[in-house]
Amino acid sequence: MLQAEIESLFDSKPEKYTEEHFGTFAKFKAALNAGQIRSAEPDASTPTGWRVNAWVKKGILVGFRMGQVVDFSIDTPRQPYFDKATYPVKQFTAQSGIRIVPGGSSIRDGCFVGKGVTCMPPMYINVGAWVGDGTMVDSHALIGSCAQIGARCHISAAAQIGGVLEPVGALPVVIEDDVMVGGNTGVYEGTVVKRRAVLGTGVILNRSTPVYDLVRGLVHAATDDQPLIIPEEAVVVAGSRAVTKGQGKDWGISLYTPVIVKYRDEKTDLKTQLEDLLR
């Protein structure tokens, strides 16, 4: 029923939004906040292991369409805050079980944040995102719109997890359970990082850059109908690949490329383990 109402609002914009329309969107957003619906979810039958729920992304876009810009400022002259009335900051209480350390962090309404998540300032979680239980979102990190972050992940300082809200049928960025995302990394354009993988400092993953697997002798790359997929337990570091012909060879130029140098082992686990004291 809710899906049909959202699809109708998306496909046929009314001349004026009624109380009934806003009530439908309120139910939709409450389901997003509670984690009852999500923009993408696990599906073992697909090549990526994930399925897009396009109607959920449509509902998020409907919220932007129907919301008017309002003044949310606590003190407008000192700290102006103007945004769509449909997407204020997400509300928490101490019973939510989430640590939000003071210092400028923001979490937009319409996203799911699990129990035991730690938010170090300043970080940002955008609408439609899903952040699993026990995950650490470190300082200056971004969780983009509709990004799916698993449980017990560490999204390190200045990491950028891109969002994919449009087109509605496109898979958002997915970081599965127990992934370590190093500082100053960037994961974009619907890349899927499988469980227990480790992304070293400065790694950039997108649809345009292949990943060279030194262990298995493979090259992982996106295709026209499938995003880049990083295998389970892969340890990825930033590397380079020499240009082998033309002017680039003459100039001795190398191009950036991510490289899988190993797969996770006990030594890796010790290096990436989060201190219990931080919890």
Burial 199-227 (b: 16+ CB within 10 A, else e): bbeebbbbbebebbbeeeeeebebeeeeb
Q: pLDDT tens across 16-48, in order?
A: 999 999 999 999 999 999 999 999 999 999 999
CA 108/CA 88 separation, integer angstroms: 6
Q: What is the band of 278 on the pLDDT scale with cuts at 50, 70, 90?
A: low
For 237, the token pair is 């570091």
What is the mean predicted confidence (pLDDT) over 53-58?
98
- pLDDT digits over 237-267, tens only? 999 999 999 999 999 999 999 999 999 987 7
pLDDT at 59 over 80: yes
Helices vs. strands in the chain: H and E counts, helices first: 5, 26
> What's the pTM value of the predicted model, to 2 decimals?
0.94
Contact 34, 41 (CB under 8 A): no
Is residue 279 scored above 70 in pLDDT?
A: no
d(CA 147, CA 132): 11
DSSP, residue by residue, 120-153 = PSS-EE-TT-EE-TT-EE-TT-EE-TT-EE-TT-
pLDDT at 209 over 60: yes
For residue 277, name the pLDDT band (cuts at 50, 70, 90): low
pLDDT recorded at residue 214 = 97
Q: 41 to each of 45, 59, 150, 186, 223, how far by Cα in Å?
A: 12, 16, 11, 22, 21
CA distance 249 to 269: 39
Q: What is the CATH number of domain 95-268?
A: 2.160.10.10
Nearest CA among 194, 158, 152 for reference residue 173? 194
Residues 6+ apart with CB under 8 A from 30: none
Tell whether the model's pLDDT for residue 60 goes beyond 90.
yes
The CA distance from 107 to 129, in Å, is 10
Instruction: Kindly report the CATH number that applies to the domain delimited by 2-69.
Output: 1.10.166.10
Residues 6+ apart with CB under 8 A from 77: none
Give the pLDDT confidence score for residue 68 in this predicted structure: 95
pLDDT score recorded for residue 227: 96
CB atoms within 10 A of CB 38: 19
Q: How far apart are CA 188 and CA 199, in angstroms?
A: 13
Within the chain, all domains assigned CATH 2.160.10.10 are found at 95-268
On the question of pLDDT at 224 being above 70, the answer is yes
Are 229 and 211 in contact by the 8 Å Cβ rule? The answer is no
**What percent of the chain lies above the pLDDT cut of 90?**
93
Confidence category of residue 271, pLDDT binned at 50, 70, 90? low
Tell which residue, 21, 12, 22, 6, has the closest CA to residue 59. 6
pLDDT score at 265? 86
Q: Above 80 in pLDDT, residue 268?
A: no
Largest CA distance in the chain: 67
Task: Read off the pLDDT of residues 124-176 as tens digits, 9 standing for 90 and up.
Answer: 999 999 999 999 999 999 999 999 999 999 999 999 999 899 999 999 999 99
Range(s) for CATH 1.10.166.10 in the chain? 2-69
Q: Predicted confidence band at 275 (pLDDT cuts at 50, 70, 90)?
A: low
